[in-house]
Amino acid sequence: MTKHFRPHDDAFPVAEDAPLPLVAIVGRPNVGKSTLFNRLARRKLAIVHDEPGVTRDRHYATTTAFGTAYAIVDTGGFDPESDDPMKAGIADHVRAAIKEADVVVFLSDGSSPVIDADRVAVDLLRRSKKPVLYVANKADSPRADAEAFDLYRLGVDEVFPISSLHGRGIGELEAAIIERLPKEPPREPEEDGEKLLRVAIVGRPNAGKSSFLNRVLGEARMLVDDRPGTTRDAIDALVTHDGKKYVFIDTAGIRRKSKVTKAEDAVEALGVLSAIRSIERAHVVVVMCDVSEGVSEQDAKILGLAHDRARAMIIVLNKSDLIRDKKALAKAEEHARDKLAFASYAPIVPMSVKSGRGVAELFRTIDEVRTGYFHRATTGELNRFFEQVLDTRPPPTMGSRAPRLYFITQTSVAPPTFVAMSNAPESIHFSYQRYVQNQLRKRFGFVGSPVRVFYRQKRGRGEEKRVRPSRRPENTRTKG
Ligand code: GDP
Ligand code: GDP
């Protein structure tokens, strides 16, 4: 799917959804960031909430332009209404975007004069080494371009006048984005030619992420990517535990206590941005929650991002030492399960970094999850599985169609992905698709891994028609 990063390595196959470059949209409120986001993500403006009751992060999407895939984030607006713009969080906001993104799109409202907040943001962006595109939105007609060029007065070299609402100038902007994306994929850590498992520790501030790393990094070797153009801050750590190797991603970023603004939502937007960066690079995402605080909306959001990117995942309930007794801990687990029901396959590990309880269990769970994520079922195993599934429950007739399944095959690992051939893929009911998925899980384990099954039309030889996969079974989220 992505052309960005697809090395062929049978020994340790790389995730099909390998890291995508990240494009961040920054700007003050109401300039049209979310309209542009939807336009680039090719989403309908009226977003249909197909997953009832769930606040999904609609500010993050993967998309393509001219055949190149990338991830796009609307960072939320910075607050322009402060006496001292530097304190308004603009600086933090813009710096976070510069730090995490490969390309920054600065958006202003071309139909109204440039204001101080724009000036502050542009000053910071011009000094950064990251590629930045300066875009004046709401230039709905060529006549409006003159006003849009107001942005030149801030000293930028090139301004893109666009209309997010009407689609004007979007093609040019997309071409410019693609042109500025990194030409080379990020170098991923390996040793003796073998790719290493990459683990991201994500979660809200104070969940205990840096305490955990301090505990396990004792003997760690730091891996610094010092090629030109890479952020030296992104320091991964190679940890050997029980003779096995794990790379913990961006440990410096976690341990460097960020002094972010007090504005709650700003902290959240920026926290999510750095989580996105880590999730892109990870095989296994560990979402660390503070069990004494309970699982938060942001925890759910981050887990949702990992789920959408088809990463393996583990939920850690840290600070279990603060929980009175076993019964209370079981209750907390149950609550977490409810809240994160959309990823019911993700194991929950109670842990206390403070006492050390559960740390070994987390490493065991990472091993188990890794095994599932990279598992390749043999043809024999799959055939036997498939026969049994059909014997127990063949696909039900839909209307006048009697869908048949011919065979199932595993097309990739990380995550385990299957293709089932049918005479009528459209007629295989959603509930049956879910059934097949659950059976695969039951048979092969896949603890903590998303499992994808694509249904494809079988016709004459060499004549196959692709059918959109049903991602719904695992995307169905229920509110806890
Ligand atoms: P955000 O707060 O920066 O995310 O801004 P929104 O995307 O919510 O847009 C703010 C308002 O500007 C909405 O009423 C949009 O319909 C409007 N808007 C966005 N893009 C354009 C545009 O290109 N032209 C015009 N005329 N209005 C726009
Ligand atoms: P981070 O922001 O996620 O990196 O969180 P920190 O590692 O800085 O931890 C935040 C606070 O929680 C610190 O005061 C830690 O000492 C404390 N903390 C971390 N883990 C535990 C734990 O297992 N039990 C208790 N009681 N406190 C913890």
What is the mean pLDDT for each group of 10 consecutive residues in the chain (480 residues)?
A: 32 54 91 93 51 52 88 79 59 82 94 89 91 96 86 91 95 95 76 82 89 82 59 72 88 60 54 83 94 90 88 96 94 94 93 96 96 91 91 85 87 91 88 92 91 84 48 40
Residues with CB under 6 A from ligand 1: 27, 29-35, 77, 137-138, 140, 163-165
Question: Separation of 164 CA from ligand 1 center, angstroms?
Answer: 7
Phi, psi of 243 (to 5 degrees): 80, 0
- Ligand 2, atom 20: closest residue by C-alpha: 208
pTM over 0.85: no
- Ligand 1, atom 2: closest residue by C-alpha: 30
DSSP, residue by residue, 360-395: HHHHHHHHHHHHHHT----HHHHHHHHHHHHHH-PP
Question: Separation of 352 CA from ligand 2 center, angstroms?
Answer: 9
248-286 burial, b if ≥16 CB within 10 A, otherwise e? bbbbbbbeeeeebbebeebbbbbbbbbbbbbbbbbbbbb
pLDDT in tens, 337-381: 999 988 899 999 999 999 999 999 999 999 999 999 999 998 889
Please report, to the nearest 10 degrees, the dihedral formed by the alpha carbons of residues 260, 266, 267, 273 taken in order: -110
**What's residue 323's pLDDT?**
93
Q: Which atom of ligand 1 is the closest one to the Cα of 35?
A: 7
Rg (CA), the chain: 24
Burial of 109 (0-12, 13-18, 19+ CB in 10 A): buried
- Ligand 1, atom 24: closest residue by C-alpha: 138
- Ligand 1, atom 6: closest residue by C-alpha: 32
- Ligand nearest the Cα of residue 163 is 1
Question: Separation of 136 CA from ligand 1 center, angstroms?
Answer: 12
Q: Which atom of ligand 1 is the closest one to the Cα of 38?
A: 7
**What's residue 430's pLDDT?**
87
Question: Separation of 77 CA from ligand 2 center, angstroms?
Answer: 30
**What's residue 272's pLDDT?**
76
**What's residue 25's pLDDT?**
94
Q: Which atom of ligand 2 is the closest one to the Cα of 205?
A: 2
- Ligand nearest the Cα of residue 148 is 1
The two three-digit tokens of residue 39, written as one number: 């336009």
- Ligand nearest the Cα of residue 254 is 2
Question: Separation of 30 CA from ligand 1 center, angstroms?
Answer: 6
Q: Which atom of ligand 2 is the closest one to the Cα of 213?
A: 7
The two three-digit tokens of residue 361, written as one number: 């269990």
SS3 457: strand
**What's residue 4's pLDDT?**
32
- CB 260, CB 270: distance < 8 Å: yes
**What's residue 224's pLDDT?**
63
Q: Among candidates 362, 201, 208, 332, which has minimal Cα distance to 279? A: 201
- Ligand nearest the Cα of residue 166 is 1
SS3 396: coil
The two three-digit tokens of residue 444, written as one number: 């092969």
- Count of H helices and E strands in the chain? 14, 18
Q: Which atom of ligand 1 is the closest one to the Cα of 74?
A: 4
- CB 53, CB 133: distance < 8 Å: no
**What's residue 443's pLDDT?**
92
Question: Separation of 204 CA from ligand 2 center, angstroms?
Answer: 11
- CB 78, CB 12: distance < 8 Å: no
pLDDT in tens, 174-184: 999 999 998 87
